[in-house]
């Protein structure tokens, strides 16, 4: 390295990735088996603790703390259906069933399970975002109606 060349400074997230790159908990090799790109990216972000979400925001359906683990593994809004779909698919494909919880990520070396998890992650994330953004649209619509009513009332008063 030349004297004048500067070493690029890594930001916090990059430092964390570099520190954990050899960690057994991050599925770098296994994640390549996933065909569903959105699900793969979500699973990748989940393992790196880098999901694009608002921190300290409550769950849209139950008001519990919305941690990444809550979103994908503990939210009562989908846990029963997710478990049923997951095990139904595994059974139909000749695999043994598993409990839908964070430990399922230990089975990413099996391509079917890795892809199934990715698809489920994508569907859960889509549903969560739809709830959040639809609620915002409703709030904005209500605010606009209130503004219009205030303007109309102000015109009548003048």
For 82-117, the pLDDT digits (tens) are: 999 999 999 999 999 999 999 988 888 888 999 999
Asked if 89 and 116 count as a contact pair (C-beta separation under 8 A), the reply is yes
The span from the CA of 102 to the CA of 105, in Å, is 6
Q: How far apart are CA 57 and CA 64, in angstroms?
A: 9
| Residue 46 pLDDT > 70 | yes
CA distance 86 to 37: 19
Q: Of 21 and 157, which is predicted with more confidence?
A: 157
Residue pair 10/18 in contact (Cβ under 8 Å)? The answer is: yes
Rounded CA separation 79/63 (Å): 16
pTM of the model: 0.68
């Amino acid at each position: 390295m030349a004297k004048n060349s500067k070493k690029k400074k890594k930001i916090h997230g990059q430092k964390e990735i570099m520190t954990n790159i050899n960690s057994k908990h991050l599925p770098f090799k296994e994640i390549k088996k996933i065909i569903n790109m959105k699900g793969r990216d979500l699973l990748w972000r989940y393992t790196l603790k880098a999901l694009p979400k608002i921190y300290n925001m409550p769950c849209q359906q139950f008001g519990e703390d919305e941690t990444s683990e809550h979103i994908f593994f503990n939210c009562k809004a989908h846990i029963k259906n997710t478990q049923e779909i997951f095990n139904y698919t595994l059974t139909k494909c000749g695999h043994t069933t598993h409990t839908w919880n964070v430990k399922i990520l230990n089975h990413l070396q099996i391509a079917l399970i890795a892809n199934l998890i990715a698809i489920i992650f994508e569907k859960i994330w889509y549903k969560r975002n739809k709830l959040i953004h639809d609620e915002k649209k409703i709030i904005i619509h209500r605010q606009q109606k209130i503004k219009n009513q205030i303007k109309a009332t102000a015109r009548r008063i003048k």
